[in-house]
């Protein structure tokens, strides 16, 4: 049972519901939602474990579930994720031109937040207690699976990348 209240923001709530569904399926509890003009138009959750596919992060399945959208829709959308996005997912949001990224929590790991900001994306950290609580529960229950998913960043709490010449 969750101690924290569910997120009140509809986009973050949809992302959290996806994260909770992933947790119940035995996967990583990370969810995402794409919102356009106040309406949730797509949702997704991390499906790496369920589908055995290493690129099926929550944001990627959300984009996949959105299907083909006009570039105008992406430029007016907000992407929600229960956890700070990795560089792959952040890169996808840049590719599609999503201008705003809402992060449920970045206490567990802060990944591409600053990188996205440096490229003009508005990043809002919600610091949502329910997002944090669910992921911490999962990490306590499945530390090996968490380490497999997040790699070295899960040990040190932050991705560190050096790109010579960048």
Is 59 assigned a catalytic role?
yes
Phi and psi at residue 107, to the nearest 5°: -75, -40
Residue pair 98/51 in contact by the 8 Å Cβ criterion: no
Distance CA 131, CA 108 (A): 10
Residue pair 58/19 in contact by the 8 Å Cβ criterion: yes
The 3-state secondary structure of 43-95, one letter per residue: EEECCHHHHCCCCCCHHHHHHHHHCCCCHHHHHCEEEEECCCCCHHHHHHHHH
The H or E element spanning position 157 is: none
Tokens 């699976």 locate to 145
Considering 17, 18, 59, 105, which one is annotated as catalytic?
Answer: 59
Residues catalogued as catalytic: 59
């Amino acid at each position: 049972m969750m101690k924290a209240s569910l997120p009140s923001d509809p986009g973050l709530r949809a992302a959290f519901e996806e994260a909770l569904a992933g947790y119940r399926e035995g996967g990583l509890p990370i969810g995402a939602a794409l919102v356009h003009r106040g309406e949730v138009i797509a949702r997704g959750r991390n499906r790496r474990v369920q589908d055995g596919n290493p690129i099926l992060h929550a944001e990627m399945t959300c984009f996949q579930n959105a299907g083909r959208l006009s570039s105008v829709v992406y430029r007016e959308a907000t992407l929600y994720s229960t956890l700070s996005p990795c560089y792959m997912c952040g890169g996808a949001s840049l590719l599609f031109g999503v201008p705003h990224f809402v992060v449920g929590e970045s206490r567990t790991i802060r990944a591409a937040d600053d990188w996205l900001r440096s490229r003009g994306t508005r990043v809002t950290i919600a610091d949502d207690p329910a997002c944090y609580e669910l992921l911490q529960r999962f990490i306590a229950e499945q530390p090996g699976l968490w380490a497999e998913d997040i790699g070295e960043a899960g040990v040190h709490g932050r991705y560190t990348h050096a790109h010579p010449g960048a």
